[in-house]
Amino acid sequence: MPWDRRTFLGLLAGAPGIAAVAGSGTAAAHTGAPRTPASLAPSDPAAAAARRLLGARADQFLFTSLAPDTEGRDRFAVSGRAGQITIAGTNPATQLAGLRRYLKQAGLAQFTWAGSRAGLPERVPAPEGGRLEGRADTPHRFVLNDTNDGYTGPYHDWAYWEREIDLLALHGFNEVLVYAGADAVYQRLFQRYGYSDDEVRTWIPGPAHQPWWLLQNLSSFPEPVTARLIEQRAALGARIVGRLRELGMSPVLPGYFGTVPAGFADRNPGAKTVPQGKWMGFARPDWLDPRTDLFAEVAAAFYEIQEELYGRGTLYKMDLLHEGGSAGNVPVGDATRGVQRALRAARPDAVWVILGWQKNPPKEVVAAADREAMLVVDGLSDRFPEVNDRESDWQGTPYAFGSIWNFGGHTALGANTRDWVDLYPRWRDRSGSRLSGIALMPEAADNNPAAFELFAELPWTEGPVDLTDWFREYARVRYGGSDAHAEAAWDILRTTAYGTRRDDRWSEPADGLFGARPALDAVSAGKWSPKALRYPAASFEPALDELLSVRAELRDSATYRRDLLDVARQALANRSRTLLPRLAAAYKAKNQAEFARLGRRWIALIDLLEQLVATDENHLLGRWVESARAWGGSAREKNQLQYDALSLLTTWGTRQGADAGLRDYANREWSGLVGGLYRLRWSTYIDELSAALKEGRKPVAVDWFALEDRWTRNPGTLATQPRGQVHEVAEEVARALARAD
């Protein structure tokens, strides 16, 4: 489809949150002011972003250019007097990084993934000491996981992405993975190679499952996508990459490494394809042999179409043979050279971005590639203690120090922050280091704000980081003033949830058991989650009492409310791990009265958890469903998109995939999910065990997948508006936890 002004505006008009209406400034940011590619960039992108974030107080800041340092690194400088602050930077995004540093130093505001606060006076103060400077010590500051478009929000609109990009720029990131709209490239591509539009759209999965299709893990689930949906996503993708480029950031786009629909060789003489078998029960797309002339032709067409839609990029994300892919009789080294040759033919200066995960990248890939034109974004830097010499592991390939503190969007709080502040500077400064950046890659974004802040600051921080000081300062800025109870709370969090280390071979915190498929011996909700808490539960709970005691004038902010919810929620989740063994012991001892009492306690805590998370709009399953339905053009499509989005959080997909371990992979403590599916499962289970004890028989087995699938297809009415006050409910949580189980 030609990409002209009329087409662009037409697509904007049809997509949720991307309406083609006139306007400017903050209001337009949320109604979707029309911008063609030619007129997308405002005269001062940094100033426009600052005004979206700060409103009229942003007029006190002047943004100007600054040359890179002598090594070509990004930098900023902040100077000026009260009410008139000049922020110079190498590009608009770096200027925004300077704005964030100034706001933090002055304690005026915090904008982050989970809760933001701004309290600027009528006249902002001069920078402390008269001048503030910062420099990035590495060129690559990469952000977002391949799975982000699934687990964070496959149906987010432009209003979401506009703010997300502003936040990423503020935090100094300059390379952002963009998957939205990739389906439009493939839709156009394979119509050139013998497939009808209907056939291609049947092959493309729903948006929630598309990340795994782009990783060559699955296709054709759960329903064919409509042409209208693909066009809407193309319009959103164009806006995302356009805004990133306005700000001087680089969109990281999917590259072409050989994914083709079934039957490609039958329709294209000379094609050589390798079947990829199954992934978690799903049929994988076939792989086109990259050594062939036809691969080079298809790749050239892919990059041509991608450029028509989203422009030319410099970084392209590709993973060969991801999670069990088969090379067949194709030598992996030759395939690597074919993929990189095609990329270079289309984009001579491009960098191949590849994930460091498990056995990826394979040694054969690294050996055959031009390693100077490759960047490994390491997902295991803080996971295993034996991961120490990435220069040897990847034969001198440049790499980014990375963290995946979150799998599937779990709401668990915590990260291996001690490893970050220890390993990052040590790996960067050692002799022969190829560390070239950071890679922030939780599988779902918009959580763990302290982790987000700290990790983003690594390449902008000179000298060692004292975590005691860092968390104390974090609490001051986050709530808008110093408070002994806030400091005490965050010191507890520093030594518990944020004090874990990779010595136990984990990078993520343990999920709670209320979200587990019921079993008396359950040790995790997700199959591949930690099987035990990584810190003592009793050491964590006092953080809730401390946060509840923060003085009243500091409680009236989204940042405080979010932290209070997170800590209260985590304390309840932790209690599930100490209560379930007692429930199991009562059942084993056939103590009907004790089992009944503890069963009531278990359900009561689930109900209290539901009441807690219902106070926050970002913890409402109804919002997740509502956003999916908003993209549908008919009642049928709305229902299909709802199932696509909701199934990802529950069964994930088919019975076979659920049984393989995907069910509850994306478990999270959200209102509607906790009080809906999770309560239904546990009440069903406890009732049956109680009846079995009373009647002296074995419990009847429950077909959990059937129950989960029924609920997923018909969850009932889900709230889309928060209810209750978090402080009141958190106080009830504290009282409930103080009572003996």
Distance CA 717, CA 625 (A): 10
More confident residue, 581 or 14: 581
- At 26 the pLDDT is 30
Distance CA 303, CA 296 (A): 11
Residue carrying structure tokens 């030759």:
334
**415-463 pLDDT tens trace:** 999 999 999 999 999 999 999 999 999 999 999 999 999 999 999 999 9
**660-679 pLDDT tens trace:** 999 999 999 999 999 999 99
Distance CA 376, CA 353 (A): 6
Nearest to 88 by CA among 59, 63, 105: 63
Distance CA 716, CA 725 (A): 24
Q: Are 238 and 34 within 8 A, CB to CB?
A: no
pLDDT at 24 over 70: no
**In which band, very low, low, confident or very high, does the pLDDT at 313 lie, cut at 50, 70 and 90?**
very high
Residue carrying structure tokens 């010590």:
137
**In which band, very low, low, confident or very high, does the pLDDT at 14 lie, cut at 50, 70 and 90?**
low
The amino acid at residue 366 is V
**In which band, very low, low, confident or very high, does the pLDDT at 18 lie, cut at 50, 70 and 90?**
low
- At 660 the pLDDT is 96
Distance CA 246, CA 41 (A): 6
**577-635 pLDDT tens trace:** 999 999 999 999 999 999 999 999 999 999 999 999 999 999 999 999 999 999 999 99
- At 664 the pLDDT is 98
pTM for this model (two decimals): 0.94
**In which band, very low, low, confident or very high, does the pLDDT at 35 lie, cut at 50, 70 and 90?**
very low
Distance CA 506, CA 415 (A): 9
- At 614 the pLDDT is 98
Report the first-to-last Cα separation within the chain, whole angstroms.
Answer: 63
**In which band, very low, low, confident or very high, does the pLDDT at 472 lie, cut at 50, 70 and 90?**
very high
Q: Is 602 exposed, middle or buried (0-12, 13-18, 19+ CB in 10 A)?
A: buried
Mean pLDDT of the region 40-67: 90
**In which band, very low, low, confident or very high, does the pLDDT at 740 lie, cut at 50, 70 and 90?**
confident
**Which tokens in the block code for residue 33?**
């002011």
Distance CA 671, CA 610 (A): 5
Q: Are 152 and 409 within 8 A, CB to CB?
A: yes
Mean pLDDT of the region 85-98: 98
- At 190 the pLDDT is 98
- At 43 the pLDDT is 73
Quote the percentage of the chain above a pLDDT of 90: 93
pLDDT at 207 over 60: yes
pLDDT at 137 over 60: yes
Distance CA 407, CA 396 (A): 29
- At 105 the pLDDT is 96
- At 741 the pLDDT is 87
Distance CA 190, CA 416 (A): 44
pLDDT at 739 over 90: yes
Residue 383 has phi, psi (to 5 degrees) of -105, -50
Reduce the secondary structure of 529-566 to three states and give it as a string.
Answer: CCCCCCCCHHHHCHHHHHHHCCCHHHCCCHHHHHHHHH
- At 15 the pLDDT is 60
Q: Are 285 and 219 within 8 A, CB to CB?
A: yes
Distance CA 422, CA 410 (A): 26
- At 38 the pLDDT is 34
pLDDT at 27 over 50: no
* DSSP per position, 177-227: E--TTHHHHHHHHHHTTT--HHHHHHHSPPGGGHHHHHTTS--S-SSPPPH
Mean pLDDT of the region 130-142: 97
The CA dihedral of 300, 303, 307, 313, to the nearest 10 degrees, is -130
Task: Detail the DSSP E strand segments found in 225-373.
Answer: 250-254, 259-260, 273-274, 278-279, 282-283, 286-288, 315-317, 351-356
Cis peptide preceding 542, ω within 30 of 0: no
Q: Are 615 and 674 within 8 A, CB to CB?
A: no
pLDDT at 23 over 70: no
* DSSP per position, 672-707: TIIIIIIHHHHHHHHHHHHHHHHHTSPPPP--HHHH
Domains along the sequence of the chain with CATH: 52-135 (3.30.379.10), 140-460 (3.20.20.80)
pLDDT at 9 over 50: no
Nearest to 437 by CA among 74, 58, 27: 74
| HSE of 630, CA atoms in CB hemisphere, 13 A | 19
- At 358 the pLDDT is 87
Q: Are 230 and 187 within 8 A, CB to CB?
A: yes
**107-127 pLDDT tens trace:** 999 999 999 999 999 999 999
Q: Are 401 and 424 within 8 A, CB to CB?
A: yes
Mean pLDDT, all residues of the chain: 94
